[in-house]
Amino acid sequence: MDVLKVFTDEPLALDAAADEPVPRGAPREMASLESLLRRPTYARAYLAGTHLGDETRTGLTALADPSLWREPLSDLWAGFEWSTHPEGLGPGRSLLAPAPGVALAAAPEAVDPALLARVGQAEDRAGWSALRAILDQQPSALVFTPEPAHDGWDWVVYTGQPLRQRLLAALQAHEAPGARRLVMPYQKARGEHKFYLERWALDDLPEWAMEV
């Protein structure tokens, strides 16, 4: 049985403080409440999965049925143009079998390749300034970055618009017989025990886990 997990995080600041280091001993400027309220907010979703059966496999790309997540996502990128880093990749193949350093973007118009390269080449939050630039130019863009899992890859999706309700609607529009699909707040699932809740709590889900 496939279990799809979607962890949503919005509003997300993609704050500059996370990717612009301060020299040792130098004071860090604190943002005012007014500037925080004016700051654009973004959204992200972490898509993960586990295949439960005779052989347990962990990773979104390790699920037996990739349409479980690809079909709902395709509703979100319908009519968009794909940009990839490295350039020339096939987005369909890359979504199923990414490699380190890959970054994908689906947007109304092509994404600046230099910005997408910075996203793909950066580690952890170091590419957030490039992400902000992409999403400020095209708020409806979807930017995908892969995260390694035990038996494949997970995907993180960033956008400049609210995402949770759109993902819920897309999932509800596609039936998934024989599978389980869980949507959860990103902040509630920190820690390995909660992240892998499908291994111990499928029959008694915590209140913060919504099954679709």
Question: What domain range includes position 183?
Answer: 2-11+41-211
Query: Cis peptide leading into 27, omega within 30 of 0?
Result: no
Q: How far apart are the first and last CA of the chain?
A: 15
- Domain presence at residue 21: no
- Domain presence at residue 118: yes
- Domain presence at residue 141: yes
- Domain presence at residue 36: no
- Domain presence at residue 31: no
Strands 103-107 and 81-85: antiparallel
In the block, residue with structure tokens 């400049």: 160
Q: Which residues touch 67 (CB under 8 Å, ≥6 apart)? A: 174
Dist. CA 14–CA 40, nearest whole Å = 9
- Domain presence at residue 58: yes
Dist. CA 78–CA 107, nearest whole Å = 9
Q: What is the pLDDT of residue 123?
A: 80
Give pLDDT < 50 ranges for the chain.
17-24, 26, 28-29, 31, 35
Q: What is the pLDDT of residue 122?
A: 87
- Domain presence at residue 20: no
Among candidate residues 10, 21, 45, the one with its CA nearest the CA of residue 122: 21
In the block, residue with structure tokens 């979607």: 6
Per DSSP, the residues of 46-83 read EEEEEE-SSS-EESGGGSS-THHHHHHHHHHSTTPEEE
Q: Enumerate the β-bridge partners of residue 5.
A: 48, 182
**For the chain, what is the largest distance between any 2 Cα atoms, rounded to a whole number of angstroms?**
57
Q: What is the pLDDT of residue 37?
A: 55
- Domain presence at residue 150: yes
Q: What is the pLDDT of residue 28?
A: 46
Q: What domain count does the chain have?
A: 1
Q: What is the pLDDT of residue 19?
A: 40
Among candidate residues 208, 206, 158, 210, the one with its CA nearest the CA of residue 181: 210
Q: What is the pLDDT of residue 33?
A: 55
Q: What are 211's two structure tokens? A: 């099954």
Among candidate residues 80, 48, 78, the one with its CA nearest the CA of residue 146: 48
pLDDT digits 0-9 by tens, 25-54: 545 445 455 545 556 689 999 999 999 988
Q: What is the pLDDT of residue 25?
A: 52
Cβ pair 6, 195 in contact under 8 A: no
